[in-house]
Amino acid sequence: MPGLPQPSDKAARLIAGGASLVASSVLADAGIEHYRGSFENRAMVLPLAGSALSILTDTRLALGARASGGTGALAMSVHAANVAIGAAGLGFHVYNILKQPGGFTFGNVFYHAPIAAPAALMVAGTLGATALALGKGASRLGPVPLASGRSLAGFAAFALAGTSAEAAVFHFRGAYHNPFMWVPVVVPPIAALALGKAAVTGTVGRITNPALTATAVLGFAGAAFHAYGVSRNMGGWRNWRQNLIVGPPIPAPPSFTGIAIAGLGALLLMRRFARG
């Protein structure tokens, strides 16, 4: 039925929106951090290019555009490339930490390439590819079944847990000096557990939706808190060129929002699947 909405379109658009947010978070965060690293390795531009292209394709899909034929194939290759860039980035970041004096120490994990950050690009790629496949009406992404929503729920749960773990590490680095710093290490894991349980059992518990919604909200609230954190550095926002770099990363928390939105998309798929 060309031209008519596919049954899973709303979920696909939601997931694409989430993917787009995660990619935006990666673009801005890696942009600042890799600029700080003076693009010392030329490969440091790759996540910027990959996430930028991903934003384009995801946003098109989120706004309701159809991806088919050539553009669809191109978009799918962008997502595949992002998963590959993210995986390579993980390797580079681990290597960067291990080559420092002392090797794998808290200090090196705190202050050198953030160990898990490139995984966000893999998340963006996977979510983008999922949204694209669903948008085309496909019931599988490669060998992974999509229609039941359970695989996506499981993936989003894993991504939330990972992102929360990263927040835990860096908020530990900041000594949890502000009690609100505990929120992203408490709320997203609840959402991740609920979503993970839904993925395993196929039924959605009562707290799943509110926990995901709360996680989505705290992603944006986190950006606001980080902006406040920037202001608490010497010179505050007047010294933004320095403090944007040394302060807490403003673009990082919205990746929670992106993943939570994708998780809400997974819930939509699951409900629809349950209704048959």
Exposed/middle/buried for residue 23 (C-beta within 10 Å: 0-12, 13-18, 19+): buried
232 part of the interface to other proteins, by CB under 8 A: yes
Piece in contact with other proteins (CB under 8 A), picked from 30-38, 105-113, 137-145, 260-268: 105-113
* Contact flags string 144-173 toward other proteins, x per CB under 8 A: ----------------------------xx
110 part of the interface to other proteins, by CB under 8 A: yes
List Cβ neighbours of 36 (8 Å cut-off, separation of 6 or more): 245
CB closer to other proteins, 140 vs 232: 232
CA pair distance 216, 205, nearest whole angstrom: 18
Q: Is residue 151 helix, strand or coil?
A: helix
Q: Which of 162, 184, 222, 229 binds other proteins (CB under 8 A)?
A: 229
**β-strand partners of 140:** 145
CA pair distance 74, 58, nearest whole angstrom: 12
Task: Give the CA distances from residue 233 to residues 220, 229, 239, 257, in Å, rounded to whole numbers and listed in that order.
Answer: 21, 7, 9, 26
Q: Which of 5, 7, 64, 102 binds other proteins (CB under 8 A)?
A: 102
Q: Which of 233, 245, 272, 273 binds other proteins (CB under 8 A)?
A: 233
234 part of the interface to other proteins, by CB under 8 A: yes
Residues that bind other proteins (CB under 8 A): 100-102, 106-107, 110-111, 172-175, 177, 229, 232-234, 242, 246
